[in-house]
Amino acid sequence: MTKQIEFGVVGLGRMGGGLALQALEKKMKVVGFNKGPINDELKKAGLAPVESLTGFKDKLRNPRIIFLYIPAGPPVDDVLDQLANVLENGDILVDGGNSYWGDSLRRHEKLKEKGLEFIDLGTSGGVDGARNGACFMAGGEDAVIAKVEPILKALAVKNGYVHAGPPSSGHFTKLVHNGIEFGMLQAIGEGMNLLEEFRFPVDIKEVLKCWGHGSVIRSWLIDLMEKSYREEGGMQSIPAYVEDTGEVNWLVNDALHMEVPVPVIAQSVMQLFLSRDDKKHWSRAIAMMRHGFGGHPYGNDESVRKERREGQINPYPAQVRS
């Protein structure tokens, strides 16, 4: 008789909770720990809760497989240290969060010394992916990966799982993925800006819909842009401040050390920072220097604007200039 697939999850938020719920619906046994209350949907689906990390030892058979979906950084080390004091040789810990690959390599080596196995697991697809089929990039030793692969393949969208390479490669490939994502977001954002600023009215929501069907740039991001644009009635009510958790900063730093040029990814990070600058000291400084060397005016100036639009060689058709 085939044994029921089982695993534990630390962190039952949007990602960990979504994956747990998907697994429960697929008749897997899931043991879960969360700092806060566990939502009723997970309880009704059959989640086996534990009140502390020590509870995993009794509720999972050996070798135990426990996923972590918690914020990157010290919280991961804290949980791993606590679990390492409870678990037994051969048990497997899987970090599914957005940890830095260098930290993952260090954790792999540290846990190995204690007889425990470690997999770094890049997880993509957002909340919807966690719930209905995620994209996984796993880093780890072949024999260890083989024990966790049935879970990952069952919870992944079709063709959405890869054993990317040895320990740390799962989180590195996810980091590169996030950098590419930033570049794509920036390009789409700039395109939206052009559509909004065109001198003639454009049915932007229908353009986005069209782009999502057969165009070279069709993508989930374009689909999300169209959906949000329709629901919000445009972009005017959306705050311009863009927040993020900083992982792509690590990638830009890595690229500098690797001497690999990443101008688009680096610039997308800079533009994100720019969205947060409500004081605009940098632009004030530029205005002050331009005023000093060229007598350029402060602020808006209609005569300068007219010179910019009409007084220079401009490929933009003269008949449509304002």
Dump pLDDT digits (tens) for 155-214.
999 999 999 999 999 999 999 999 999 999 999 999 999 999 999 999 999 999 999 999
304 touches 296 (CB < 8 A) = yes
Q: Given pLDDT bands bounded at 50, 70 and 90, which one contains residue 106?
A: very high
Q: List, by residue number, the catalytic residues.
A: 174, 181
- The domains of the chain, with CATH numbers, are 6-173 (3.40.50.720), 203-238 (no CATH), 243-298 (no CATH)
Residue 66 dihedral angles phi and psi, to the nearest 5° = -130, 125
Q: Given pLDDT bands bounded at 50, 70 and 90, which one contains residue 313?
A: low
Structure tokens at 216: 């070279």
72 touches 97 (CB < 8 A) = yes
> How far is it, in rounded angstroms, from Cα 76 to Cα 252?
23
**What's 96's DSSP letter?**
-
> How far is it, in rounded angstroms, from Cα 230 to Cα 208?
10
DSSP 3-state of 213: coil
Q: pTM surpassing 0.75? A: yes
Whole-number pLDDT of residue 288: 84
CA R_g for the chain: 25
The model's pLDDT over 260-302, given as tens digits with 9 standing for 90+, comes to 999 999 999 999 999 988 888 888 888 888 888 888 888 888 8
